[in-house]
């Protein structure tokens, strides 16, 4: 499931450093926070500046949950519907 995604989408699993580097490099991008095995019921769309994701080194952000990232929101929404068969839920902090 995670290997089948558009080229514009990057998946971070067990790679907090890569995830935070992606956030730094893509301040206008988007990412989905998902369970390690994505389920249609939990696909939360965030923006790189979301206050829910701190750089606290004691938290492993891409261990139990993974991050699916793209500069194109529509690519992420398409990935969610076509691959996981779910719709993204918008983070109330990022999109509130």
Task: Give the closest residue to 29 by CA, choosing from 78, 75, 71.
Answer: 71
Q: Strand order in 30-35's β-sheet?
A: 10-12, 65-70, 30-35, 43-46, 89-90
- CB-based contact 34:87 (threshold 8 Å): no
Domain membership of residue 78 as a residue range? 10-95
Across the range 87-92, mean pLDDT stands at: 98
How many domains is the chain built from? 1
Note whether residue 60 is domain-resident.
yes
The pTM is what? 0.92
Note whether residue 73 is domain-resident.
yes
What are 50-67's pLDDT values in tens digits? 999 988 888 999 999 999
Note whether residue 75 is domain-resident.
yes
What are 21-45's pLDDT values in tens digits? 999 999 999 999 999 999 999 999 9
Note whether residue 43 is domain-resident.
yes
Note whether residue 2 is domain-resident.
no
Does the structure show a pLDDT above 60 at 14? yes
């Amino acid at each position: 499931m995670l290997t089948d995604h558009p080229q514009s989408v990057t998946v971070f699993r067990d790679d907090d450093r890569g995830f935070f580097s992606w956030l730094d490099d893509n301040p206008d991008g988007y990412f989905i926070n998902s369970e390690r095995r994505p389920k249609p019921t939990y696909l939360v769309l965030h923006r790189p500046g979301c206050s829910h994701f701190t750089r606290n080194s004691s938290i492993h952000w891409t261990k139990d949950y993974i991050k699916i990232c793209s500069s194109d929101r529509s690519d992420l929404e398409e990935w969610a519907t076509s691959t996981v068969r779910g719709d993204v839920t918008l983070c109330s902090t990022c999109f509130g």
